[in-house]
Every structure is written in structure tokens, then in C-alpha cells.
């Protein structure tokens, strides 16, 4: 395990990795290593995204093998269709989140974005947006036929729709300041620990909180495995980032796993390896039964080989609005923001990008705001603490950078935003959101590779379309290094 520093920057996580290796427990890092090298055709966008069962067709990026699919589709159409497929799935995911939250989708943009949105819509479609674009996109992906230019235009239509739907998610937590703690220290004290992964129903979380508050029997604590789960006037304590969930379960410091919607299969499998009780997070789940099972497992489980110190806790607050902060005379801040967030990515040592970049950007005089796993790592490293001279702001975990753009106080001040960086992407939502933000005039980058490197024509056309409001999307054909991203932010 001499390579643990390449897996995570957290010394406690490194120790947990050594323990897992000693005990013969395989984790997500082991699966990642076995998957190398990952599919280069998919990374370039040169693997057919259509549903034809006569494939899969792939185009040789070097021009020595196939230059078209079985149907005759060329590389430009294949890459454009791949982007459309990812954005369709991402938009559907956002729409699904809305409907589950009880919101009715509309396509009117927030006041701060109306002007740039209208210009983007006019430049791409010439007509108003509607959710019917989702069905149109699905129809385009039934069988090749459209030009790559048309596929790209439809991709950007979906991206605008995704951004708008993202800002409409109906939940009662929007617009409130909510406190949050993160780090292994939230597991100190020898409590019975019930961990929640994925997206549980609000009803079950409230039932569990109520059952825990009765304080009958051994004390129980609820924690999240990377998710931002509203609870009380804040969020459940986040014990670890999302990619550390399996690692934490292997430590035997968790005594029950509640697997919510979208919980990774590997998390559930790891809990099973540890003989840990698991429940699906549905409304019908019995909170009292979960507590009884957790206490029983706690009383019979082997003693953990590691305990966590209460000092290993970072604190912060999700602000209802992002505001400018004035630095001390020694650290005068430029009135410019850098937004960076997203999910963990095993392409990098966990925590490396968000911590290194946030520290360097603050040193360069920029105000920093984060969301997602990136914000968890910033909290764990004290960057969001009020004790620092200029703490990093935490954005709404669902809205992310859109919270900044919809702020009326910053409307009409595009120079205040230096850039938006997605440090990692776990699902399809990030790509349409990134494209939509760029189309609205933002400077956006994704650290994980974007599958459009198989066609220079697609990249050139996409850059032209995104320039409608002066925005741009920067992507890499490899996992970007911190120095590359810092130069992108500061050049």
C-alpha cells in the first residue's frame, strides 16, 4: 500500500486504506485499477451512442481502421450524438428530481439570467423552450440521420433547459442558511452510527431523527456518506466524501446502512461484506426497527481497529445568498469569484484538486465558493471555517454555481465571475449544466475528460455556438492537473 498517497490526501483515509488491504477488503480503488486502461473510444466520443443492436460501432481515431459506423455515420455525427445522449440523460435526471419534489416544470429563467437566456435561445433555436425538447432529443437518438450541427444545436437546447429546470427544484430548503459539519470526527464518542447513502426520502429521515431524539437505549447518531441531506435547521453531518463511503464502511465504525435512491452498488456490497444490516430508504421503512437493528449490530460487531478524534470535524454553512467578502489589509480581495465543485473522481487523489485549487485561488486574491464533494473536502481542511480570514463560501448543494448566477446583487456583473470548474462528475447532470452555463456567458471547465475529442469539427462548432453570450467550455482529453486548472483560472 505504498501508493495510498495517490488515492487520497487525507491521512486518516490513508490509514483506513491500509487496514482494508490488511483485512482483504476490496474497494472502489481496486475496481478502478482493474478497469485500466479505460475505453479510449468512449473518452473520445467515437463509440456509437444509438440503440442499434447490430453494433457497437467504433471509429478509429487514427484513421487506420473504420472511419464510419455500419449505418454510414461519420465521426462528427457520432461525437455530436454522444454529447446529445449524455445531455438527454442529465436533463431527464434533473426533471425526475423536480417531479419527485412536487414541482411543476416551467421554462422561465430567473431575472438575473433572462437577458442572456433570451439571447441564447434566439441564437440557437429561434423559438421558446419547452420540455417537448426532451422528446425531440430522444427521437433524434433512435436512428442516425441528423447532421452533426443539428445534433449540437439540440444538445445546447437541452442544456439550457437543464439549467432552467435545475433552478426550479421545489424544496423547502431553498433560500435558507443551513449549518453543516463534515469529517471523520463526527463519528467520535462510541455512538451507534446509522449511515445514509444516496438520496433517502425526507419522510424517512424525519422519522429517523424523531426516533433518535427519544434517547431510549444506546445513543444513536445519523450521518451521511457524502450526500447533503437536509435535517432540522441544517444538514446531517457528513462523515466522508462520496468516494470514501466504501472505505468508511470497511472500518466497522458504521452499524447500519440506509441505502437511498442512487446509492452506489459498491456501497451496498461493502456493507454486506461487513455483515452490516442494510435497508432501502423507502417511505415504508420502519425507523424504530432500523434503530433496534443498528443497536444489535453495534453490541455484537467486532471492535473497530481505529477510532476517530473529535477534532477531525470541519464546519461551514450553506448560505442563502453568495455575498462579497472584504479581506484584511494584508489580503485584499479582488471582487472576483472562482467557483469550483462537483463529485469525487478517482482520476485524482481524493481531495487533491479542491483543496489545492481553493488554497491557491484564495492566495491569488480570488473569492472562492464550492459545492458537492469539493465543498466537503474544503470543510475537512478548515477552508470554510469562520476562523479563517476569508472563508470559502458553500453553495447550495443542488443548485451549485446556478445559485451564484441567479443572485440579483450580481446581475449584470459578468466580470465578477472568473470561472466555474467541475472538479469531478459522477452522473450525467454535470455536462448539460456546464454547457448551459457556458451558453449563458460563463467561462466553464470540466476536470474529467469530455467525450468530444474525436471530432475537431464538433469542438469548433460547439465553441462558435457557445460564444453567443461570450461564454466558453474548456475540456481536456486527459484528467487535468491542478497546475493546468490553476492557469486556466488565473490566466
Residue 283 has a pLDDT of: 59
pLDDT band for 229, please (50, 70, 90 cuts): very high
Question: CATH topology of 184-300 equal to that of 323-490?
Answer: yes
Query: Residues 103-118: what's their mean pLDDT?
Result: 82
Residue 217 has a pLDDT of: 78
- Residue 342's Cβ-side half-sphere holds a number of Cα atoms within 13 Å equal to 28
Find out whether the peptide bond into 168 is cis, omega within 30 degrees of 0: no
Q: What is the pTM of this model?
A: 0.93
Count of other CB atoms within 10 angstroms of residue 386: 8
C-alpha 29/C-alpha 35 separation (Å) is 10
Residue 326 has a pLDDT of: 58
pLDDT band for 370, please (50, 70, 90 cuts): very high
Query: Residues 49-55: what's their mean pLDDT?
Result: 85
Ordered by start, the domain boundaries in the chain are 46-166, 184-300, 323-490
User: Per-residue DSSP letters for 334-352?
Assistant: PS-EEEEEE---TTS-BTH
Residue carrying the nine cell digits 444513536: 220
Query: Residues 56-70: what's their mean pLDDT?
Result: 90
Q: Identify the CATH number of the domain defined by range 323-490.
A: 3.40.50.2030
Q: Alpha-carbon dihedral of residues 5, 6, 10, 11, nearest 10 degrees?
A: -20
Name the residue with higher pLDDT: 178 or 266: 266
Q: In terms of DSSP H, where are the helices of 147-286?
A: 148-166, 202-213, 245-249, 265-273
Q: Identify the CATH number of the domain defined by range 184-300.
A: 3.40.50.2030
Longest dimension (CA), the chain: 70
pLDDT digits (tens, 9 = 90+) for 384-441: 998 888 899 999 998 999 999 988 776 666 678 999 999 999 889 999 999 999 999 9
Percent of the chain with pLDDT over 90: 68
Residues 6+ apart with CB under 8 A from 115: none
Query: Residues 341-361: what's their mean pLDDT?
Result: 95
Residue carrying the nine cell digits 467557483: 339
pLDDT band for 465, please (50, 70, 90 cuts): very high
pLDDT digits (tens, 9 = 90+) for 303-347: 888 999 999 999 999 987 766 665 543 444 467 899 999 999 999
Count of other CB atoms within 10 angstroms of residue 295: 18
Query: In a 3-state reduction of DSSP, which class is residue 195?
Result: strand
Q: Alpha-carbon dihedral of residues 196, 201, 203, 204, nearest 10 degrees?
A: -30
Residue 107 has a pLDDT of: 72
C-alpha cell at 34: 482493474
pLDDT band for 103, please (50, 70, 90 cuts): low
Predicted confidence (pLDDT) at residue 171 exceeds the cutoff of 50: no
Amino acid at each position: 500500500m505504498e501508493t495510498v498517497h495517490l488515492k487520497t490526501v487525507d491521512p486518516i483515509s490513508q490509514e483506513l486504506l491500509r487496514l482494508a488491504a490488511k483485512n482483504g477488503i476490496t474497494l472502489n480503488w481496486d475496481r478502478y485499477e482493474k478497469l485500466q486502461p479505460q475505453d479510449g473510444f468512449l473518452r473520445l466520443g467515437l463509440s456509437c451512442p444509438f440503440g442499434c443492436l447490430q453494433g457497437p460501432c467504433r471509429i478509429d481515431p487514427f484513421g487506420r481502421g473504420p472511419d464510419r459506423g455500419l449505418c454510414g455515420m461519420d465521426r462528427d455525427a457520432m461525437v455530436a450524438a454522444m454529447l446529445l445522449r449524455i445531455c438527454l440523460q442529465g436533463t431527464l435526471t434533473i426533471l425526475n428530481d423536480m417531479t419527485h419534489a412536487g414541482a411543476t416544470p416551467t421554462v422561465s429563467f430567473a431575472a438575473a439570467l433572462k437577458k442572456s437566456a433570451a439571447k441564447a435561445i434566439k441564437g440557437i433555436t429561434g423559438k421558446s423552450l419547452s420540455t417537448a425538447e426532451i422528446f425531440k432529443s430522444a427521437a433524434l437518438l433512435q436512428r442516425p440521420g441528423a447532421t452533426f450541427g443539428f445534433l449540437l444545436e439540440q444538445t445546447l437546447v437541452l442544456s439550457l433547459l437543464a439549467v432552467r429546470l435545475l433552478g426550479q427544484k421545489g424544496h423547502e430548503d431553498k433560500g435558507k442558511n443551513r449549518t453543516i459539519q463534515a469529517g471523520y470526527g463526527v463519528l467520535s464518542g462510541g455512538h451507534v452510527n446509522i449511515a445514509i447513502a444516496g438520496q433517502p426520502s425526507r419522510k424517512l429521515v424525519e422519522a429517523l431523527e424523531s426516533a433518535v431524539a427519544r434517547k431510549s437505549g444506546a445513543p444513536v447518531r445519523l450521518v451521511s456518506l457524502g450526500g447533503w441531506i437536509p435535517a432540522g435547521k441544517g444538514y446531517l453531518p457528513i462523515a466522508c466524501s462520496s468516494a470514501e463511503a466504501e472505505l468508511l464502511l470497511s472500518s466497522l465504525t458504521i452499524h447500519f446502512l440506509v441505502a437511498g435512491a442512487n446509492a452506489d452498488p459498491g456501497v451496498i456490497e461493502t456493507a454486506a461484506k461487513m455483515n452490516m444490516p442494510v435497508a432501502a430508504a423507502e417511505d415504508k421503512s420502519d425507523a424504530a426497527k432500523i434503530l433496534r437493528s443498528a443497536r444489535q449490530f453495534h453490541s455484537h460487531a467486532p471492535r473497530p481497529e481505529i477510532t476517530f478524534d473529535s477534532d477531525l470535524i470541519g464546519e461551514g454553512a450553506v448560505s442563502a445568498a453568495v455575498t462579497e467578502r472584504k479581506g484584511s489589509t494584508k489580503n485584499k480581495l479582488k471582487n472576483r469569484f472562482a467557483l469550483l465543485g462537483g463529485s469525487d473522481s478517482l482520476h485524482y487523489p481524493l481531495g487533491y484538486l479542491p483543496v489545492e485549487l481553493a488554497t491557491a485561488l484564495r492566495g491569488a486574491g480570488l473569492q472562492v465558493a464550492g459545492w458537492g464533494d469539493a465543498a466537503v473536502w474544503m470543510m475537512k481542511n478548515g477552508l470554510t471555517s469562520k476562523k479563517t480570514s476569508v472563508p470559502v463560501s458553500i453553495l447550495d448543494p443542488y443548485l451549485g454555481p446556478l445559485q451564484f448566477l441567479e443572485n440579483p446583487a450580481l446581475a449584470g456583473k459578468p466580470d465578477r465571475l472568473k470561472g466555474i470548474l467541475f472538479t469531478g462528475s459522477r452522473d450525467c447532470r454535470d455536462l448539460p449544466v456546464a454547457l448551459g452555463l457556458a451558453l449563458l456567458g460563463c467561462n466553464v471547465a470540466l476536470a474529467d475528460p469530455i467525450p468530444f475529442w474525436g471530432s475537431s469539427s464538433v469542438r469548433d462548432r460547439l465553441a462558435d455556438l457557445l460564444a453567443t453570450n461570450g461564454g466558453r467550455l474548456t475540456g481536456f482529453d486527459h484528467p487535468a492537473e491542478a497546475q493546468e486548472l490553476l492557469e486556466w483560472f488565473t490566466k
